[in-house]
């Protein structure tokens, strides 16, 4: 591995950390399933990230808008970053039961075991729902595909991921003192390691994943994610990426799906929304913190991004508790 490849890997991992750290995972519901064919389950969209790990057997996953079902086998792991609605069954097209009928309540910190189905071959699943603050999700995270799949070989190539999944499968991680926190950290570890493996293994199939693996675009994304308050221009971002203005704008839009400055604005507004919700910082100070010298310019940008003013967002969001950054 040469120096440039090593630098790219370090940068990619730093970017992944920056994308996932703001999510602030705060709870996990997990369940164990023993399903005998014929069986089918339909889950609605959920406001959390979802994980499905196949302990034994196999199953089919169907998503709206996707023509071909996904076939998961023993040792495979499917990650749904946005909790996208999907159907599970022992084979595609199977009649389904709504998930809410089998698990009417799924509060964070709880665990359930479900056994259902018929006389056929059995499938064993471990499922987790990781709750996070949607407003804190970075723009690039929101653009992730609906589902990322790691096959058994990819899981086993990440020893820590395989080991953690094995322990979750074998142990009652939710029992005893501190059980909910242990479960959260275990599933959080699986989530982060799975995302890292997926971004590495699928870098040539999805435009967004290719963006993380593209040295120039990854450098610009990391700058936008971590240094959004700086007075960036298209020219200075291109220089950060080491490309000409036109080449940078073209490749960024192709891989990320929007122009560089639009992505920067979204990152700034996401941080502004978080500060409005979580702190009592003044709007003028927030404008400065996210890179605006003019409060009026900040108000216009926020309205264009959210459809409402910063003040309206603060009034309709959860009450902010004074924090160490309040001014």
**pLDDT one digit per residue (tens) for the chain, 327 residues:** 333 443 444 344 466 677 776 666 777 888 899 999 999 999 999 888 999 999 999 999 999 888 899 999 999 999 999 999 999 999 999 999 999 999 888 777 778 889 988 899 999 999 998 887 776 677 777 778 889 899 999 999 999 999 999 888 876 655 666 777 787 788 888 988 888 887 666 545 566 667 877 889 989 998 998 899 999 999 999 999 999 999 999 999 988 888 999 999 999 998 999 899 889 999 999 999 999 999 999 999 999 999 999 999 998 875 443 333 333
pLDDT for the residue 7: 40
What CATH number should be reported for the domain whose range is 23-202? Answer: 2.60.120.280
pLDDT for the residue 92: 94
pLDDT tens for residues 273-302?
A: 989 988 999 999 999 999 999 999 999 999
Category of 75 on φ-ψ map: left (φ > 0), alpha (ψ -120 to 50) or beta: left
Candidates 94, 86, 83, 89; CA nearest to 48 is 83
Candidates 109, 52, 104, 114; CA nearest to 81 is 52
Domain ranges of the chain: 23-202, 214-316
pLDDT for the residue 222: 87
Task: For the domain made up of 214-316, give the CATH fold.
Answer: Arc Repressor Mutant, subunit A (1.10.10)
**Rounded CA separation 215/304 (Å):** 31
pLDDT for the residue 205: 55
**Rounded CA separation 291/7 (Å):** 28
Spatial contact of 117 and 38, defined as CB atoms under 8 Å apart? yes
pLDDT for the residue 118: 87
Spatial contact of 91 and 118, defined as CB atoms under 8 Å apart? no
Phi–psi pair at 250, nearest 5 degrees? -70, -50
pTM of the model: 0.75
């Amino acid at each position: 591995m040469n120096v440039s490849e090593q630098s790219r890997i370090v940068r990619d991992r730093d970017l992944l950390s920056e994308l996932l750290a703001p999510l602030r995972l705060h709870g996990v519901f997990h369940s164990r399933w023993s399903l005998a064919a014929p069986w089918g389950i339909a889950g609605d969209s959920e406001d959390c990230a979802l994980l499905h790990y196949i302990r034994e057997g196999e199953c089919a996953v169907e998503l709206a808008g996707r023509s071909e079902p996904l076939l998961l086998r023993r040792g495979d792991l499917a990650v749904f970053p946005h909790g996208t609605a999907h159907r599970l069954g022992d084979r595609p097209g199977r009649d389904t039961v709504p998930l809410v009928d089998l698990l009417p309540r799924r509060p964070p910190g709880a665990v359930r075991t479900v056994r259902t189905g018929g006389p056929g071959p059995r499938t064993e699943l471990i499922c987790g729902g990781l709750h996070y603050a949607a407003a804190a999700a970075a723009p690039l995270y929101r653009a992730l595909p609906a589902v990322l799949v790691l096959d058994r070989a990819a899981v086993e190539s990440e020893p820590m991921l395989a080991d953690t999944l094995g322990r979750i499968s074998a142990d009652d991680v939710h029992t005893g003192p501190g059980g909910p926190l242990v479960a959260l950290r275990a599933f959080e570890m699986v989530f982060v390691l799975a995302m890292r493996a997926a971004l590495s293994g699928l870098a040539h199939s999805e435009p967004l994943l290719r963006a993380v693996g593209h040295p120039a675009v990854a450098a610009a994304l990391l700058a936008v994610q971590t240094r959004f308050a700086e007075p960036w221009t298209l020219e200075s971002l291109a220089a950060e990426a080491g490309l000409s203005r036109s080449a940078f704008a073209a490749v960024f839009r192709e891989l990320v799906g929007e122009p560089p400055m639009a992505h920067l604005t979204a990152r700034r507004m996401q941080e502004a929304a978080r500060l409005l919700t979580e702190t009592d910082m003044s709007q003028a100070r927030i404008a400065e913190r996210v890179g605006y010298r003019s409060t009026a310019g900040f108000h216009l940008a926020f309205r264009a991004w959210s459809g409402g003013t910063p003040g309206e967002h603060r009034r309709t969001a959860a009450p902010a508790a004074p924090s160490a950054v309040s001014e």
